[in-house]
Structure 1
Amino acid sequence: MKIVFFLQTVNKVNNVQSVFLDLAAYMADYTSHEVYYANNFFDADFKKHHPTTLKYVECAELRNDKFADAIFFTPVNYLCSLLSVISQFKKAKIAVLSYDAKSFEWLANTMYSVDSDEPNKLFEMVSKKNACAYFDYSCIRQDTVNKEEEIFIPTSLEYMLPDQYPNPALLSKKEINIGYYGKVSEFIPSFNNLLRNLGALQTGKNINFHVIGSMDKWFESTYFKNASTEVFRVIYVGEFNDITLTKEYVSKNVDILFATGRNAIEATLFGVPVVIPVIEPKGFHGDKYVRIFNASGYIYKWDRAKLSQLNNTVDTLEDIISDTYKRGRKRPLAKKGFEFVKKNASIENASLQLEKLLKQTQLTVQDCLANTSMKARINDYNKYHKRDADLDFNQYMVLRSKTPKKVDNIVSKEKDTSEYLKVQESYAKKISSLQKQEKIKVAFLVLFDTTFPTQPVFEKMMTNELFDPYVVVIPYVASSMKYQRDLYNKTLQEMERRYPGRVIGAYDVENRVYYDLGNQYSIVFFNNPYSWLVHPNHHIKYFTTKNCLTLFANYGFAAIKFWDEVMQTDTYNLAWKVCIENESNQEYMKTVHPIKGINSIVTGYFKMDSLADEKEILRSRKSILICPHHTITGWAKLDISNFLRYFDLFLKLPKLYPDIDFVFRPHPLLITKLTANKIWTQKQVDDYLKAIENTPNMTYDTTGYYLDKFVNSDAMIHDCASFMAEYLYTKKPCCYMMKTKKQTMEGLLPIGIKCINHHYHALTEEEIISFIDNVVIAGKDPLKEEREKFVETELRINYPKATEYLIDYIIKVLKK
């Protein structure tokens, strides 16, 4: 089976959500299934089970057709989130996990259903299709008749049980050694109750109480120190980073261990009897304890009210102490607890239960969308998603809960673009104001030193007295603070190296302050379309409230339909001007863009202006560029890489053609994705790059700038998006590697189709070799005349002065 575990969390997983990640990793590594874990990417989640064969994917990647035959597993309340990315797979099967009795009420809430009976309808839909499992008995609805017949995927250990079980003897009959394992702060009221119960026993023995777990320093320095007496000693150990160390400490110092929840399960591995106490938020009196093997319904944590509802055998503290110290039953009680966990709370058992659920579920995407409320909510989200492609379903629901009228207005067709159009109308007044300025101060907002498409504009403006341009480095906020800090510092240093005195930092790393750029700049260039990557102070929405003109230019040449999604972003609709490469793309933009391209300007393609400055070096040998794309896992509208089909061929070509020089220049993300997606090991990557290094007539190019490589080559073999237009600027022949011709053509814009029609096509290794033999070596190039005509008339717009064209346009607007 192809199984996808689906979450859409805003932070790394914890508590019940951890079960999903742990179970996914186990099934990937110890079963024959193909297993994926889909969530927003968090480094901690990725590293938790590293190394593993589990494949991590972003939620949006599930739109790819390769997941059409998968079975999806998700918590009940995430069902709408899942449907928002797989609604096109009508026959795909779904199974759900209920980890609370109110799960179906939560799901109904995400649908904003006004039908009070909606939770019941949803429950009936899922139950009829045998699609639901439960976390424990407390998660089952009260109207369920035969709870024992349901499938349970309970809390369990995140790893396999050990082969050898520790079985330490009693430490001493002269003193009592007990302990607590878990989060200490929630245990305080229970600890006070335990103290009273121990005092009432009057054992006549010294008692050592070992506290193992994390806690606040205030509790450590005051509370437990004050609790110790001559006969009652509290030893606060703290939290061990390694379970092996915890096990070692417990086996040498503890005879009975109190714990709750997952900690109670884990404690059975330490070779001691495990007892579950009552946990209350406030002080209480009671003498009821449950040995872990007497816990029922897969529940291992309770307060007094919940305990009274469970069918658990209860013991007093005297029973617990006497069994171990008077009757000498430490070892059999510990072993009984371990055997109980092995049967009821092992990851192996959870995996078997999930397999049973996945085999029996008949719930499909089509079944879910037959629910009127659910279908309506998905449709609303899809409408809003066209406007803001950055927003996932959970973010959309949060936004709607805060501003329901605003969101609903945007969702309704006639008001979809009202905010955008209002901003566009505001620019006329801003232009009038800016026309009075003698000097125009310009900001170029830069996230990455490698992604600066308006760099030629910045450099040209530095030579024009009318403009006062600056590179403003802004932080990337969509990852960890460490990554944000390191990337920001790297970009800032590189920009300062290139343009000393012309670079401004918009972030105080030490104090984590995101600077407000205010009204300092009259023109602001954006080099990234996605709002979620930046702080609100640096988002285009912020600058629409300022007296400035905003512009955006694509990093790559727009040739594929992935551009459709980019055109839905705020940046594309709020910018004063969006720079477009040619008339074909402008016409297409009018059909897809929410505001129909009214803010577009055909400037030409800035990046290629520099091509005219490159000089061809006199060569005696032919040179071919090999440029595979990075989408080896496939994206919904960008599934073009053929590297995994032809990586062996790429190493064979230099041997087949020793008189030709080959330059291997993959997309910068390709090598990283091979290991990040568990497709190759690091050793495989290293071996492959080493093989290239050891090939005399092949080089591995990782430089950021590549137009010099274009000029000093004779042909290109590739499957990239931007290169299908960019390399044609040289008028040289190129070969495009296709998965299928139909798939390739369906993913292209009109200009992309024209570009690809002036390429030679390769669906097989033989066709790649034929291109080299006939076109590159023999010079038989039947596409040459039409290709050169196409490049001159439809690609090289304003070439090589696209940058000057835009600057002249700005000057005309501001200096009428």
Structure 2
Amino acid sequence: MIQPIWDEINEMRNSINKIPHLLINSTSSNYVHSKSKIKVLFLVQSSEFWYALETIYLKMLNDKDFIPILFIIPSRYSEDGGFENKSLNYFQTKQYTNILYFENEEAIPDNIIEMLNPDVIFRQAPWEHLVPSIFRTEQLKQRRICYIPYAIHTLNTEEVFYNQKLHNYAWRLYSDSQHLHECYGSYNLVKNYNSVVVGNTKFEYIDNQLNSTEHLPWPVSIDNRIPKLKILWCPHHSLETWLGFATFHKNYMDILEFAVAHPEYDIVFRPHPAMKTALITNNKMTLSEYDGFFSKLAQLPNCYIDAGAEYIHLFHHSDLLVADGIAFLFEYLLTKKPIIRIDSQQSVGFNSYYAKFQQAWYVVNSIDAVGNVILDILNNSDDLESKRNSFSQELYNASIELLPSDKIIADLKESLLGGN
């Protein structure tokens, strides 16, 4: 008679373990924090993802109610690679305070989170295998985890972007739109009870930077020459085994021919940080082929290969974007400048909400067609200008009274300090 009882108890335990700890305990909006300041830990694995968090962090540095800590942690781009502190150099150039880092993964104490004892933890991405085990959701689930997507969720991929372990256990999912909020409601194990719609913090940052008077320079410079066009060219890494947007492995020789044939154009080539690993580990290109392309491109005086963490200055200076996917197709709309998308014709496509934004891009399937669209635009035949202006406003409205970062800070104060 004892065993059936234990079986029932174990089944109950298993059921409870599937429910986020922080939804079981008292962390509702009327919870009053016991301290006078809120200690916020930003676990930063990628400088490329930082734009979504920077406005929040900087405002917290100047707010008496917060102690923000920026912890630069090791990361990797795939399971095949080792963990490295890839973002450390970038953040060391910033005029930030409250930065924590360790020289290598082995130096990080296993109980570092307990030592820091944060009230709130921001994670940058839901992909657990990209960060060391001590920073994964399973080890943090007893804490108040907050998550802001590092890019808008535009793809036709359903639960993969809404029902990872991070989404299930998060105390707050700060959603950029009602659409994202509804997606959590449809696919997240705990629905959208932990989702709060605040707007897009990354677009807030991009808009701030585009309207700034200070920018890094355009990296191509040839004496006594004014380029006919400044092109930002950004190939993606997602192969048909993942999202299927990448075209570089099929057209890289055509891209090189285009660059050679058009010395009157400046071209800044900025591949996705994970593209090299994706192409080589999936046998789409050899290391020799990949490095050979970039070696030849680097020799062209009108071309520059950009691998820096900052890229909004490239948005600002460029006249046009060429890309096969994904985030830049939407982010660049904030500039209202032309966008040419190279369609792989085998991608997962865009979801029902964001599919309409394709109307604002010139869509082609060859490098020759890219050249034809550019010639049309240079001849003052830009038929999509009004579409871009309209969709840019829909993506981000800078005239709103309360910015996304302000809404997040207000929500944290209301939840943890009782609104004080």
- CA-CA distance at 1:576 after TM superposition: 1.6
1: CA distance between counterparts of 2:201 and 2:290? 34
1:733-759 Cα shifts (integer Å, max 9, x gaps): 10111122xx44x53122331222221
SS in 1 for 2:19: helix
* 1:738 is aligned to 2:343: yes
* 1:786 is aligned to 2:387: yes
In structure 1, the partner of 2:66 is 467
Distance of aligned partners of 1:515 and 1:563 in 2 relative to their CA distance in 1, 3 Å threshold: farther
* 1:445 is aligned to 2:50: no
Q: Residue 671 of structure 1 contacts residue 685 of structure 1 at CA under 8 Å; is this kept in 2?
A: yes
Instruction: Output the amino acid matched with 2:137.
Output: I
SS in 2 for 1:465: coil
1:758-800 Cα shifts (integer Å, max 9, x gaps): 211112334322211112x123222211221122124447779
Instruction: Output the amino acid matched with 1:635.
Output: T
- CA-CA distance at 1:555 after TM superposition: 1.9
Instruction: Output the amino acid matched with 2:277.
Output: T
In structure 2, the partner of 1:757 is 359
In structure 1, the partner of 2:110 is 514
Instruction: Output the amino acid matched with 2:367.
Output: E
2: CA distance between counterparts of 1:510 and 1:564? 34
- CA-CA distance at 1:806 after TM superposition: 1.9
Q: Residue 446 of structure 1 contacts residue 527 of structure 1 at CA under 8 Å; is this kept in 2?
A: yes
Distance of aligned partners of 1:423 and 1:795 in 2 relative to their CA distance in 1, 3 Å threshold: same
2: CA distance between counterparts of 1:406 and 1:496? 48
Distance of aligned partners of 1:747 and 1:613 in 2 relative to their CA distance in 1, 3 Å threshold: closer
In structure 2, the partner of 1:569 is 164
1:429-448 Cα shifts (integer Å, max 9, x gaps): 585231x4211111111234
Distance of aligned partners of 1:556 and 1:479 in 2 relative to their CA distance in 1, 3 Å threshold: closer
Q: Residue 603 of structure 1 contacts residue 797 of structure 1 at CA under 8 Å; is this kept in 2?
A: no
In structure 2, the partner of 1:718 is 323
* 1:654 is aligned to 2:259: yes
- CA-CA distance at 1:641 after TM superposition: 0.5
In structure 1, the partner of 2:98 is 502
Match of 1:811 among 402, 405, 413: 413
Instruction: Output the amino acid matched with 2:293.
Output: Y
1: CA distance between counterparts of 2:266 and 2:188? 43
Match of 1:624 among 227, 231, 252: 231
Distance of aligned partners of 1:719 and 1:491 in 2 relative to their CA distance in 1, 3 Å threshold: closer
2: CA distance between counterparts of 1:702 and 1:709? 12
Q: Residue 557 of structure 1 contacts residue 726 of structure 1 at CA under 8 Å; is this kept in 2?
A: no
2: CA distance between counterparts of 1:406 and 1:756? 48
* 1:604 is aligned to 2:199: yes
- CA-CA distance at 1:419 after TM superposition: 0.8
Q: Residue 163 of structure 2 contacts residue 189 of structure 2 at CA under 8 Å; is this kept in 1?
A: yes
Match of 1:679 among 249, 261, 284: 284
2: CA distance between counterparts of 1:629 and 1:511? 34
- CA-CA distance at 1:727 after TM superposition: 1.0
Q: Residue 725 of structure 1 contacts residue 795 of structure 1 at CA under 8 Å; is this kept in 2?
A: no
SS in 2 for 1:750: coil
2: CA distance between counterparts of 1:479 and 1:790? 34
In structure 1, the partner of 2:241 is 635
In structure 2, the partner of 1:560 is 155
Q: Residue 255 of structure 2 contacts residue 367 of structure 2 at CA under 8 Å; is this kept in 1?
A: no
TM-score normalised by length of structure 2: 0.81
- CA-CA distance at 1:520 after TM superposition: 1.8
- CA-CA distance at 1:558 after TM superposition: 1.6
- CA-CA distance at 1:662 after TM superposition: 1.4
Identity of aligned residues (%): 21
1: CA distance between counterparts of 2:127 and 2:12? 21
- CA-CA distance at 1:464 after TM superposition: 1.5
Distance of aligned partners of 1:692 and 1:442 in 2 relative to their CA distance in 1, 3 Å threshold: same
Instruction: Output the amino acid matched with 2:98.
Output: R
Distance of aligned partners of 1:563 and 1:515 in 2 relative to their CA distance in 1, 3 Å threshold: farther
2: CA distance between counterparts of 1:479 and 1:771? 35
In structure 2, the partner of 1:129 is none
Higher helix share: 1
Q: Residue 163 of structure 2 contacts residue 184 of structure 2 at CA under 8 Å; is this kept in 1?
A: no
Comparing both chains, which one has the higher relative contact order based on Cα–Cα distances under 8 Å and sequence gaps of 6 or more? Answer: 2
Q: Which has the larger radius of gyration?
A: 1
- CA-CA distance at 1:669 after TM superposition: 1.9
Distance of aligned partners of 1:461 and 1:677 in 2 relative to their CA distance in 1, 3 Å threshold: same
2: CA distance between counterparts of 1:510 and 1:555? 27
1:44-101 Cα shifts (integer Å, max 9, x gaps): xxxxxxxxxxxxxxxxxxxxxxxxxxxxxxxxxxxxxxxxxxxxxxxxxxxxxxxxxx
2: CA distance between counterparts of 1:536 and 1:445? 13
Q: Residue 270 of structure 2 contacts residue 307 of structure 2 at CA under 8 Å; is this kept in 1?
A: yes
SS in 1 for 2:341: strand
* 1:666 is aligned to 2:245: no
2: CA distance between counterparts of 1:493 and 1:708? 19
Instruction: Output the amino acid matched with 2:300.
Output: T
In structure 2, the partner of 1:579 is 174
Q: Residue 339 of structure 2 contacts residue 361 of structure 2 at CA under 8 Å; is this kept in 1?
A: yes
Instruction: Output the amino acid matched with 1:424.
Output: L
Task: Map residues 394-473 of structure 1 onto 2, 5 A cutoff.
Answer: 405=11, 419-420=19-20, 423-428=22-27, 432-434=31-33, 436-452=34-50, 453-473=52-72
In structure 2, the partner of 1:708 is 313
Root mean square deviation, CA, Å: 3.5
* 1:689 is aligned to 2:288: no
Distance of aligned partners of 1:448 and 1:715 in 2 relative to their CA distance in 1, 3 Å threshold: closer
* 1:523 is aligned to 2:84: no
Q: Residue 582 of structure 1 contacts residue 602 of structure 1 at CA under 8 Å; is this kept in 2?
A: yes
In structure 2, the partner of 1:538 is 135
1:371-421 Cα shifts (integer Å, max 9, x gaps): xxxxxxxxxxxxxxxxxxxxxxxxxxxxxxxx98479x66xxxx9x9613x
Q: Which moved more, 1:658-667 or 1:746-755?
A: 746-755
SS in 1 for 2:321: strand
2: CA distance between counterparts of 1:501 and 1:584? 35
Distance of aligned partners of 1:593 and 1:511 in 2 relative to their CA distance in 1, 3 Å threshold: closer
Gaps of 5+ in 2: 1-8, 219-225
SS in 1 for 2:353: helix
Instruction: Output the amino acid matched with 1:462.
Output: L
Match of 1:645 among 223, 240, 250: 250
2: CA distance between counterparts of 1:693 and 1:508? 32
SS in 2 for 1:685: helix
Instruction: Output the amino acid matched with 1:699.
Output: Y
